[in-house]
Amino acid sequence: MFDRLSETSTLIRSTGDQAGVSEGNQQPMLVVMHGSLLGMTYTVNSRAITIGRMADLDIPIDDENVSRRHAEIVLEGDCVKLRDLDSTNGTFVNSQRVKESVLCDGDLILIGRVLFKFIRSSSIENRFFGQMYSLATTDFLTGIFNRQHIMSRLESEFARARRYVRPLSVLLYDIDHFKQINDTFGHLAGDQLLIESSRLVSKNVRQQDFFGRLGGDEFLVICPETDLNNTVLMAQRLSQLVEKWSYSYQSRKLDFSISIGIAGISDEMRSSTDLIAKADAMMYKSKHRGRNHVSY
């Protein structure tokens, strides 16, 4: 999406005006230009934004070069200020290490290996980044996360759970007899079922969960800070919800169900691939049990 900058790149100093928040009720934003959070945007509002390695911060960065509580961004009057929180490796604005800095439109902020750009939310540039991020992360049909982004999130959540010894579970499902639905009612009916069922699931997962389409009729829900037992309860609730849901296409009622596989992080797992492989095996176990099951 963007040209990747090397860690030794020289940061170009901005000549933009100092960013104020009163003019035109503009809300400044941070856009990630390089690093593990590439393309993410964060709105700067009246509450301080905390950045660091701790999982409960506003912008958690899983990078050994980042301190647990590394920096914060705050509004003071009409100014947006960046403050280093006594980090070990420092916070840099336009290649200069700073303790505190009033941010200007276009400033580049380097924290660990993550490079942020500070811009006004009303600018054409901000709209461009928002559109590019949406194109890069969103599934074109359902509007939820696409395969590339949901798998990237899984890698990040797996690394965080492993580093801090925290629970992590995933829920993998596909739609039972989806090919038969396509063959009987047509691909438009199948596409509409994917769209409507995705909306149903989106409304019934938690705010902290990540929901994406892996491809075809296969979907993944990532459940951070959640053990296997609690994910099983959520899966059972989703399964019952889908089974009872009434879906019609061109006045024809279509009954359908989902087969769900669940896996939780364990000591023997070396990567996120192991976690999703376990969930995949459990999903196929559900199918072999006659479909419309939850296996873990």
Tell me the pLDDT tens digit for each residue of 75-111: 888 899 999 999 999 999 999 999 999 999 889 999 9
Least reliable range by pLDDT among 73-77, 146-150, 174-178, 291-295: 73-77
Q: What is the mean predicted confidence (pLDDT) over 234-244?
A: 94
The architecture that CATH gives domain 23-132 is Sandwich (2.60)
Instruction: Share the mean pLDDT of the chain.
Output: 87
- Give tens-digit pLDDT for 213-235: 999 999 999 999 999 999 999 99
Rounded distance, CA 168 to CA 161, Å?
6
CATH, domain range 147-295:
3.30.70.270
**Domain range list for the chain:** 23-132, 147-295
Token code pair at residue 75: 């509004």
Across 121-192, where does the E strand assignment appear? 168-175
Rounded distance, CA 236 to CA 270, Å?
28
pLDDT of residue 20: 41
Catalytic status, residue 58? no
Rounded distance, CA 231 to CA 138, Å?
24
- Give tens-digit pLDDT for 22-73: 344 467 889 898 887 877 888 888 789 999 998 889 999 988 899 999 999 9
Indicate whether this model's pTM tops 0.75: no
Q: What is the mean predicted confidence (pLDDT) over 156-163?
A: 90
Whether residue 236 contacts residue 139, with contact meaning beta carbons closer than 8 Å, is answered with: no
Query: Maximum CA pair distance of the chain?
Result: 65
Q: Does the structure show a pLDDT above 70 at 198?
A: yes
Rounded distance, CA 37 to CA 50, Å?
15
Nearest CA among 170, 182, 238 for reference residue 210? 170
Distances (CA, A) of 2 to 5, 21, 57, 115, 137: 9, 28, 26, 12, 14
Single out the catalytic residue among 62, 107, 209, 217: 217
pLDDT of residue 94: 94
pLDDT of residue 141: 94
Whether residue 138 contacts residue 180, with contact meaning beta carbons closer than 8 Å, is answered with: no
Rounded distance, CA 80 to CA 93, Å?
13
